[in-house]
């Protein structure tokens, strides 16, 4: 059965800090890894990663995938209170279209 | 707003009652997914459709759950004889089938509370 593990499960930082969120996975026939941000409502799409070593970047957020070591990281630099949310990592594998999610990482950014 | 929409946003029901939720996907998307999310957990896959065909169902989907997408557009998820353990957020997502680059976009969810 596919497995996605995120760490840490929660994190409290101050505005301006840089954070690194981790996601490791064990799946058969990996296809892609996705990061979502969830703020008490629908998860909103951040990144999709399919190839190792290629960084995806959007503003202060960036993410990279290591298919050899089976993990991904999501970095947020110069954090703001608006970054407070649950960050979900999900993996698509095999011939299935479904996503297997981790439990999420709750990030709290204090002023 | 051309995103995924779900109705109702909140539902409170008594144990044993039936409930039905609706999802309207992004208009050009041919795939539609249902997930369930409980507090402190990530979403768990329930079922998905490509056009009107239901292609996969999770073992989480007991026989009290049924989903339809009759014309390949909106979908409904019905829960019969609700139990307190059904209390959760029910999320719908849609995508355009397209191999490795397929991305699922989520709706706001329907939060169900079974008393």
Confidence class for position A17, pLDDT limits 50, 70, 90: very high
pLDDT at residue B2 tops 80: no
Select the residue of A31, A50, A98 nearest B33 (Cβ to Cβ): A98
Residue A55's closest CA among A47, A67, A45, A63?
A63
**Residue B100, min C-alpha distance to chain A (Å):** 6
pLDDT above 70: percentage of residues in chain B: 97
Confidence class for position B82, pLDDT limits 50, 70, 90: very high
The mean pLDDT value for B87-109 works out to 90
Give residue-wise pLDDT tens across range B64-73: 999 999 988 9
Structure confidence at residue A40 (pLDDT): 79
Q: A47 to chain B: nearest residue by CA?
A: B103
Q: Compute the mean pLDDT over every residue in chain A, rounded to the nearest whole number.
A: 93
The residue whose two tokens read 């397929």 is B102
Structure confidence at residue A43 (pLDDT): 92
Select the residue of B45, B100, B105 nearest A45 (Cβ to Cβ): B105
Yes or no, beta carbons of A92 and B101 under 8 Å apart:
no
Structure confidence at residue A10 (pLDDT): 96
Structure confidence at residue A29 (pLDDT): 85
pLDDT at residue A35 tops 80: yes
The mean pLDDT value for B90-108 works out to 88
- In three-state secondary structure terms, B77 is strand
Q: Compute the mean pLDDT over every residue in chain B, rounded to the nearest whole number.
A: 93
Structure confidence at residue B97 (pLDDT): 82
Residue of A99, A102, A104, A106 to mutate, interface with B, max B Cβ within 10 Å = A99
Yes or no, beta carbons of A97 and B48 under 8 Å apart:
yes
Give residue-wise pLDDT tens across range B45-79: 999 999 999 998 998 888 999 999 998 899 999 99
Residue of B26, B39, B43 to mutate, interface with A, max A Cβ within 10 Å = B43
Yes or no, beta carbons of A43 and B43 under 8 Å apart:
yes
* Residue B1 token pair: 């707003």
Please enumerate residues of A whose Cβ is less than 8 A from a Cβ of B. 4, 31-32, 34, 36, 41-45, 48, 50, 88, 90, 92, 96-104
The β-bridge partners of B94 are: B32, B105
Structure confidence at residue A98 (pLDDT): 87
Termini Cα distance of chain B: 33
Q: B46 to chain A: nearest residue by CA?
A: A98
CB A23 within 8 Å of CB A89? yes
Structure confidence at residue B1 (pLDDT): 53
């Amino acid at each position: 059965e596919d497995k996605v593990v995120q760490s840490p499960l929660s994190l409290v930082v101050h505005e301006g800090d840089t954070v690194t969120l981790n996601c490791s996975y064990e799946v058969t026939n990996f296809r892609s890894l996705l990061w979502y941000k969830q703020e008490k409502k629908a998860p909103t799409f951040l990144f999709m990663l399919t190839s190792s070593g290629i960084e995806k970047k959007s503003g202060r957020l960036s993410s990279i995938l290591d298919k050899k070591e089976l993990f991904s990281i999501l970095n947020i630099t110069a954090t703001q209170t608006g970054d407070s949310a649950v960050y979900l990592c999900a993996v698509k594998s095999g011939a299935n279209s479904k996503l297997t999610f981790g439990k999420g990482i709750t990030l709290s950014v204090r002023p | 707003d051309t995103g995924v929409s779900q109705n109702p946003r909140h539902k409170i029901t008594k144990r044993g009652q039936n409930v039905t939720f609706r999802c309207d996907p992004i208009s050009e998307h041919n795939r539609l997914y249902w997930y369930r999310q409980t507090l402190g957990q990530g979403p768990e896959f329930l079922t998905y459709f490509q056009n009107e065909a239901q292609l996969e169902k999770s073992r989480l989907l007991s026989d009290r759950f049924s989903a339809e997408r009759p014309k390949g557009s909106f979908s409904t998820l019905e829960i019969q004889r609700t139990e307190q353990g059904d209390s959760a957020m029910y999320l719908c997502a849609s995508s355009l089938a397209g191999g490795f680059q397929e991305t699922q976009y989520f709706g706001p969810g329907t939060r169900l509370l079974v008393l």
